[in-house]
Structure 1
Amino acid sequence: MSKPVFIPTFTRLLLFSVILFLPDIANSQQLKGKITDEKGAPIPYATVFIKELSQGTTSNVNGKYGIDVPEGTYTVIYRSLGYAPQNIKVKVNTKSVTKDITMVDQVHQLREIRVYGNGEDPAYSIMRHVIGLSNFHKNQVESYKADVYLRGTVHFQKVSRIIRNQLRKQKVEVKSGDTFVDETYSTITFDAPDHYKQVIKSVNSTFPDIVDFPVMKFFAASLYDDNIDILISPLGRNAFNHYKYVYEGFSYEGVYTIDKIKVIPRRRSKQLFSGYIYIIDGLWCLHSADLNFDTPFGEVNVRQVFDEVKPGVWMPVGHNYAFEGGVLGVKGSVHFGGSVKYRDVVLNPRLIAVNPINTMPQFAEKAKAEAESKTEAKPETDKEDSVEETKNEPLGHEVKDGKRVAKMAEILNKENITNRDMNKLSRLMSREAKIANDDEEQSLELKDKNQKVIVSGAADKDSSYWNEIRPIPLTENEKESFEKRDSLENSPRKKLFGSSKNGNKLLSGYLGPLFTGKRWTNRDTSFHVSYPGILNLKSVGFNAVDGWKIHQEITLNKTGRPGHAFWFTPWGTWAINRKAVLWGGKTALTYAPMHRAIANLDFGRKTEDFNSLYAVDPFINAVASLFAKENYARYYENRYIDFRNRIDMANGLVFYTGFSWNDRRRLENSTNYSFFRTDVDYMNNLPHNHVVTDANLNSQINTVLKLKIEYTPRYYYRVKDGVKEMAHSDFPTFWFQYNKGIKGLFNSTADFDYLEAGLTQGIHLNSATSFTYEIRGGWFPNNEHIHFADFSQTNSQPSPVLFKEFRHGFFTPGYYELRTDDRFVEAHVSYKAPYILLKYLPGISNTLWRELVWAGYYKMPNHPQYTEVGYSLIEVLFNGNIGVFAGFDDWHYSRIGMNLVIRIY
């Protein structure tokens, strides 16, 4: 069914729209007017719903509305939260009809309620019913079509000079007081469980061309879900851990009783809502919602009104999203609103068949009457055929369905259901919803769930067309935005979106690319050259072995058909203190796109970290060396040729091959330079490890063959432009690896065999919560002659500052400590969620930070078995993690540490 949409950040609010709905425009007249309160003040964003057409719209900020309808007599329902709804009959002929509406305040009554011994507010019993049935209401519609009108408006109250200058570089001119508007008329087709197709028939926008509106992805969000992006829904199964509820009375709307529930966060948090939800008593579904949530840039107000598009089926017909706030010198407001006309709403037959609500006393008679009327309407022969078919069908599923329905009905008919009842009801409905959505065997190839098609000429509609079909009148600021655009249509486009001044040709043409880099592309974009420039983090470096060094590289890329491309990156480095010229090249060739094949050939002479898989970050090592005289990394010189290939042998089955020749040479420190502590020497260039010997570090030539096979069962994938992209699997990834040091081949002295096996899996419980684990083990049945670089490698990152988040790693052992040429076993587990421990505290609960807990285990011969546990606050200031951890040798506490992760990779 159509789902509510929430946009958690100011950036998205400024750049994206939310899909809403519009009526058919053929042979129609307009019903228009103004909605005010008893004092004559306009009521903004009130919903206007025409029952017979399943069609609605909303009023603008001035309370004005307008909706196109064909001739006929209609029941029009006017609603606004806080006001009593009004139902009126309106006859529409060949002329437009004006209906001004005055709404009065809603009075909620307090009925006689039973207070239970635990003193619990009656709102909790209502919410248990709603949460228990959330899967039913979320999945009860199998498909529909709808005509859609959407308008999104962004008004900039203030734009700082810095932001204006940055936007000008993208040829966008924005100043304080500007308003941008985007309106679309579309047809939406929905098919359960989550497939949407949007056909945009017309679009009218004053936004710059660089702004895109990927609105369809917001349809995946619903208040009936447990989480909406990082927000925790007040109707989710875990809602009682995060919200308190207060019953504030009821009102009547036709035959329905509407309960008003106040939603109160248990703590200040930008991941929680506050406000009101309105529940239809007996149906236990949403009638409307008026909720707010905080962002780091301001507060977002979400208002949604549902209506009965089919008997007992309530779908959202009014959506309004309002935001006002600012970030980085920009202040503004955002509003989205629109109208909807549902067509061809088809209910999910399985869910309707097991609908437990139909068994409840207040609905049983109605359901029985409808069933009898359908039976009477059938011819006698149809009844006989139906009986015969029933005799021949297996009764197993029917019996099971009947038992589940009976269990659900038993729970719903309780006077006060418990949390256990709620969870049981939710599981039963979740199972029914899954069965209903999985009737057909799903292919491993995932089709795009959200399709968008723009009809040719959609942007060519004139103002008279929009004046005729637009159901929500424009405000003055919106009118000015369109008038400004129209007045500049015949002017050069640079007047609206800025001009591209050449400036100083010497600076922009030569010196600019030299210092800051540039990318050159040929006319058909099939070939490009990229140069990062002199001023980048990789161009200048330092370590105790090379001393100061200068690095430069350039990349050449040739692309062909989709999935076919070739890269070549030649590079050179001058190690100043070591007085060595280092050089090399990296190549990559992608081929066989449906098998994700890629071949690499690298060659050259370089200074290489002994821990090549989990090397110390060169920038962190340079800073630690220059400022603290801490040279974390240990290096050797490698003159090498390295070939690697990866290809999918079958879906989920990947085969890796590698062959390398390495002339490895021992190195010593070449400098003692640092900014401070000049009286202290650097540690020698020997990796700290309990089994390493000189024989493992001395200069030698090694030829190594590497083979690896990796398998992930039932691995779903997508195909885009003929290129296969892996998506996800519900199963772990298993792998087996074999490395062979081949003695005598190309003067190789290496003589070893290495076997490794393992499995890993990441489980996304929802958009904000995940669980991961990894188990692996390795063994050297032969280690006759082996270089330290070929030892088993484990991810140790003891630096107090890191530039990457590692979920499967150790943080107190040294970089080279957990390595062996014998055997080992290693395991990791981690859990990431919005709330685990410290986020429940008042001081930090009102943040968008998440929490991460993890544990790791490592065991090898002649070394204490090592265990590490840790905790991190993550996404602090968006890209930072703060972690603390403790290590245990043979289960006895041995060390503690903490780190700061600034995620820039």
Structure 2
Amino acid sequence: MLSRRTLLVLSFLLLNYSVFAGIISGIIKDNKGEIIPYATISVKGKTTISADANGFYSLQISDGNYEITCSHIGYITVTKKVEVSASKLQLDFVLPLQETELADVVIQSKDPSDRIVQHTIDNRRNFLMPYNSFSCQAYIKMLMKTRKMPKKILFTKVEDADKKEMGVDSNGKGVVYLSESISNVAFAKPDKIKAEVISSRESGSQGYGFAFSTYVNIYQENIDLLKDAGNKRGFISPVASNAFHYYKFKYGGSYMVGKDKIHRIKVIPKRKFEPLFSGTIDIVDNDWHIYSTDLYLTKTSSLELFDTVRVRQQFEKYETTGWLQKQQILDFSMKILGIDLYGNVLDDYSKYTLDPKVKFDNVLIAFQDSAKNRRNSYWDSVRPVLLTQEESLDYHKKDSAYFARKDSLLSKHYTDSLHAKYNKFSVGGLLFSGGFSKRYYDDSNHITSTFSIDPLIRKLQYNTVEGIAMTWSGSYSKYFKNQVFSFSPSVRYGFHNQHLNPSAVLSLSKRYKGNNSTNNQQYWYVSGGKTVGQYNGMDPISPLINSIYTLFWGENYMKIYEKYYTNIGFYKRSADGWSVQIFGKYEDRRSINNTTDKSFRSPNYFTPNYPTDLISAPQDRHQAVIVGFNASYQPGQKFIKYPDGKESLGSTQPTYSLSYQKGIHGLLGSDVNYDKWSAAIANSWDWKLGGTMKYKFSLGGFLNNKNVYIQDMTHFAGNQTLVANSYVSGFQLAPYYLFSNADHFYMTGHLEHHFNGLLTNKIPFFNTMHWNLVAGTNAFYVNKDNRYVEVFGGLENIFKILRVDFVKSFATKDANQFGVRIGIGGIF
């Protein structure tokens, strides 16, 4: 135990340590009195920090004489000599705008900007990745605020309580998102990257926050900025190898930074509605490295969701590594669903080292175990950029509210009151809205079971066999430590044919916890009963679309049958990119006939309830015992690794799939006898400026086709309605059953190219609306008498959500057709 005397001595030493340390703080403005946010403050030989968004900085330093330097992109660097004593020192900076000398332009008859930029382009590959590997520490802060909030969002009124929870005032202004992170980031040739997140914090949450660097490498040919929300084609760098095809450059003069002469180059796009930057780049003379950037993107730069984006970068010359990026500020603004949002992402890079000992693998981002459990004192000691008063207050208010809410969530009183409020049974809810659900908890407030009933309106349909058909379904789940048992009954009733079809599914699932639950799934299942299904088990037409066509167009495209069945199987999906399903099933299949011809369309064009392209009378009742498997694998998965699991970021490599079914003759009276297989490969190619190409190729057939019924045939995903079916797997004009077969071999191909603004960015109206071209072809081949090709072209991203295609087909069994298809296809 420490003695009183020892404590007094330690206290005295700590007191004296603080006495001999002074605090320097101040405000940074330009020569017009305007605040300069995020300026860099450096103490020669000591430390470097950044001012906050309001131009305020503060640093603690021991007594002595120092040179304090303040710098910022576009301003003259100012250095002051100060003597620090054991007191607070107010040291403000006024940074004059960086004025450039134009004497060089007067002497030369030709603007030197092209020559200077060409030097940088010539050295671009060396600057792109200057070392075999290097690492740095990255501090990332993301701030998002609102200027305006609508009264309603998606027809739902925004209450004052909603605004309070979001962090905005009654006028709809405030901070809606704030997060910080500190990571060690490593890079290696040619394009390897790995980030270890040391600490991460999100205001009002215990989530991991925004811990991903928005690092913009200006030396890349094509800059992938903000992903699809920016522009799917990417943005062309002002120093790309073909930059002179897209940009004009104008010399803006020069200035000195120490012994380095810096040239300012104005960047001017040659054409509107191309993915191009505007602004300035500053280039170091003779070195030809970029010193700083101040670049803009607007709607005329083909921005998608964002209205404006500004990228400011500052590079610094390090003794050991040369020119590397010190800071990046990405400002943005956007209006979405009536919400006026703006904010920024600040990246501060420091502690560069060469050839770090880092293992580059398929984990791109890894969070340390204690990443989100750091105390405020830790953040205050490591944060290189001070928080503004508004940001500090946001953390305090939202974190306090979060922990208060978390504590109340654990109380039995809160749980009971919450259940009473949200688990009320109502006839209206059961019929039309959200159905009914209820959760049960133990004394520790851990979930033990759930019960739910789906709203009846969700599965209401109309067809010529059942008339009005209604399905009632529900689910009960019991939670154990490592598993979940579920029972899901369903009852379907046809009011016109008066058939009752009850069925149920029992499943036993592995209970994944934390982030392991995102991409992993494993369960056993048993199902059985009596149900209704389409002859093509892929369900080529939805019950809703069929209901509309039956009632208003007099077309009954959906062909259904009844079956008594039992299924048993196992399914597993892994975050590593593979999935497998093994199954066995018994079916007693029975034909059912039309019982009504009621329709708002007169006359109607109803056909018998069986595929008339394949048979001329109802199919005989028969039994089928089938076993098989489905498997898929996509190699090259990349991951985010959390302390409690990992999450897949996907892969750029193709997805391979394989399936096999065996129809077993004689077992349990089974009539079928066949062996059926298929294999497929699917992927997409990102061609940046050229757009995105998606493809899928498959082949398969019957190794044995001794006795194959319609349900077991090879079916192609046809479509005879105005509503498009699945893209890159379906055939938009093919009749549903005309090409179905039991042949030994077939192959299909789907190619679909998304221009993502290419060509339409040159057409008035289309370029401002961001309506983009899409084109492609779908085809299959069975034999010379059974083949099909269709080509299509259209527009997508219509109002950010719709797609319209014009399709022409060429087939052997059907007259060539032309049609229009409308579907979902856009950034949303």
Partner of 1:249: 252
* Pick aligned residue for 1:142 from 131, 134, 141: 134
Q: Distance in 2 between matches of 1:492 and 1:614?
A: 45
1:215–1:482 Cα change, 3 Å: closer
* Pick aligned residue for 1:636 from 544, 561, 578: 561
Partner of 1:812: 733
Q: Does 1:821 align with 2:742?
A: yes
* Pick aligned residue for 2:184 from 189, 193, 201: 189
Give the 3-state SS of the residue equivalent to 2:370 in structure 1.
strand
* Pick aligned residue for 2:533 from 608, 628, 641: 608
Partner of 1:880: 802
* Pick aligned residue for 1:546 from 463, 466, 469: 466
1:108–1:853 Cα change, 3 Å: farther
Give the 3-state SS of the residue equivalent to 1:623 in structure 2.
helix
Partner of 1:393: none
* Pick aligned residue for 1:747 from 669, 678, 695: 669
- The letter of the residue matching 2:370 is V
**CA-CA distance at 1:858 after TM superposition:** 0.8
- The letter of the residue matching 1:342 is S
- The letter of the residue matching 1:784 is K
* Pick aligned residue for 1:291 from 281, 292, 295: 295
- What are the equivalent positions in structure 2 for 1:112-123 lying under 5 Å apart? 121-122=114-115
Partner of 2:495: 576
Q: Distance in 2 between matches of 1:751 and 1:104?
A: 86
- The answer as to whether partners of 1:565 and 1:590 remain within 8 angstroms in 2 is yes
1:647–1:342 Cα change, 3 Å: closer
Q: Distance in 2 between matches of 1:720 and 1:59?
A: 30
* Pick aligned residue for 2:610 from 668, 686, 702: 686
Partner of 2:77: 85
Partner of 1:199: 198
**CA-CA distance at 1:580 after TM superposition:** 0.8
- The letter of the residue matching 1:745 is L
Give the 3-state SS of the residue equivalent to 2:766 in structure 1.
helix
Partner of 1:347: 354
1:189–1:96 Cα change, 3 Å: farther
Q: Does 1:585 align with 2:578?
A: no
**CA-CA distance at 1:638 after TM superposition:** 1.9
**CA-CA distance at 1:281 after TM superposition:** 4.0
Give the 3-state SS of the residue equivalent to 1:746 in structure 2.
helix
Partner of 1:22: none
- The letter of the residue matching 2:26 is G
1:342–1:121 Cα change, 3 Å: closer
1:607–1:89 Cα change, 3 Å: same
Q: Distance in 2 between matches of 1:172 and 1:588?
A: 39
**CA-CA distance at 1:811 after TM superposition:** 0.9
Q: Distance in 2 between matches of 1:781 and 1:485?
A: 64
1:47–1:768 Cα change, 3 Å: farther
Partner of 1:620: 545
For 1:849-883, what per-residue CA distance to the aligned partner results, in whole angstroms no more than 9, with x for missing partners? 66543322211235353222333544433332232
- The answer as to whether partners of 2:116 and 2:288 remain within 8 angstroms in 1 is no
Q: Does 1:520 align with 2:438?
A: yes
Partner of 1:334: 343
Partner of 2:53: 60
Q: Distance in 1 between matches of 2:464 and 2:814?
A: 35
* Pick aligned residue for 2:586 from 626, 639, 661: 661
* Pick aligned residue for 2:458 from 534, 537, 561: 537
For 1:21-74, what per-residue CA distance to the aligned partner results, in whole angstroms no more than 9, with x for missing partners? xxxx9986433323333343444444434453462313534x443344455555
Partner of 1:214: 209
For 1:145-180, what per-residue CA distance to the aligned partner results, in whole angstroms no more than 9, with x for missing partners? 46x484736254445265532963995574216533
For 1:416-460, what per-residue CA distance to the aligned partner results, in whole angstroms no more than 9, with x for missing partners? xxxxxxxxxxxxxxxxxxxx99xx6x66x6474455734656258
**CA-CA distance at 1:548 after TM superposition:** 0.8
Q: Distance in 2 between matches of 1:74 and 1:853?
A: 65
1:224–1:758 Cα change, 3 Å: same
Give the 3-state SS of the residue equivalent to 2:587 in structure 1.
strand
1:709–1:35 Cα change, 3 Å: closer
Q: Percent identity?
A: 20
For 1:691-737, what per-residue CA distance to the aligned partner results, in whole angstroms no more than 9, with x for missing partners? x2358833222222324565666667788788787765665454554
Partner of 2:15: none
For 1:401-430, what per-residue CA distance to the aligned partner results, in whole angstroms no more than 9, with x for missing partners? xxxxxxxxxxxxxxxxxxxxxxxxxxxxxx
Q: Distance in 2 between matches of 1:713 and 1:142?
A: 27
Partner of 1:645: 570
Of structures 1 and 2, the one with the larger relative CO (CA 8 A, separation 6+) is: 1
- The letter of the residue matching 1:569 is S
Of the structure 1 ranges 570-579 and 699-708, higher mean CA displacement relative to structure 2 is found in 699-708
1:602–1:180 Cα change, 3 Å: same
Q: Does 1:305 align with 2:279?
A: no
**CA-CA distance at 1:187 after TM superposition:** 4.4
- The letter of the residue matching 1:521 is R
1:145–1:490 Cα change, 3 Å: closer
* Pick aligned residue for 2:92 from 94, 100, 106: 100
1:244–1:450 Cα change, 3 Å: farther
**CA-CA distance at 1:253 after TM superposition:** 1.9
**CA-CA distance at 1:813 after TM superposition:** 0.9
- The answer as to whether partners of 1:867 and 1:888 remain within 8 angstroms in 2 is yes
Q: Does 1:168 align with 2:151?
A: no
- The letter of the residue matching 1:48 is I
Q: Distance in 1 between matches of 2:402 and 2:651?
A: 50
Q: Distance in 2 between matches of 1:491 and 1:601?
A: 44
Q: Distance in 1 between matches of 2:109 and 2:568?
A: 75
**CA-CA distance at 1:792 after TM superposition:** 0.7
Which structure's residues are more often helix, by fraction?
1
1:489–1:883 Cα change, 3 Å: closer
Q: Distance in 2 between matches of 1:108 and 1:455?
A: 46
Partner of 1:314: 323
Aligned residues: 768
For 1:500-550, what per-residue CA distance to the aligned partner results, in whole angstroms no more than 9, with x for missing partners? 998997996221753522432332545443535436532x11122221111
Partner of 2:125: 132
Q: Distance in 1 between matches of 2:305 and 2:576?
A: 43
- What are the equivalent positions in structure 2 for 1:228-267 lying under 5 Å apart? 228=225, 229-230=227-228, 231=230, 232-235=234-237, 240=243, 243-251=246-254, 252-265=256-269, 267=271
Give the 3-state SS of the residue equivalent to 1:885 in structure 2.
strand
Q: Distance in 2 between matches of 1:269 and 1:724?
A: 40
Q: Distance in 2 between matches of 1:596 and 1:490?
A: 31
Q: Distance in 2 between matches of 1:873 and 1:132?
A: 37
For 1:232-274, what per-residue CA distance to the aligned partner results, in whole angstroms no more than 9, with x for missing partners? 2442858749942413334232233333333344554496543
Partner of 1:427: none
1:88–1:559 Cα change, 3 Å: same
Q: Distance in 1 between matches of 2:651 and 2:400?
A: 54
Partner of 2:29: 36
* Pick aligned residue for 2:425 from 503, 507, 510: 510
User: What's the TM-score once normalised by structure 2's chain length?
Assistant: 0.78
- The answer as to whether partners of 1:57 and 1:318 remain within 8 angstroms in 2 is no
Q: CA RMSD in A?
A: 4.7
1:888–1:301 Cα change, 3 Å: same
- The answer as to whether partners of 1:555 and 1:569 remain within 8 angstroms in 2 is yes
- The answer as to whether partners of 1:196 and 1:216 remain within 8 angstroms in 2 is no
1:589–1:769 Cα change, 3 Å: farther
**CA-CA distance at 1:559 after TM superposition:** 4.2
Of the structure 1 ranges 255-264 and 762-771, higher mean CA displacement relative to structure 2 is found in 762-771
- The answer as to whether partners of 2:204 and 2:395 remain within 8 angstroms in 1 is no
- The answer as to whether partners of 2:438 and 2:450 remain within 8 angstroms in 1 is yes
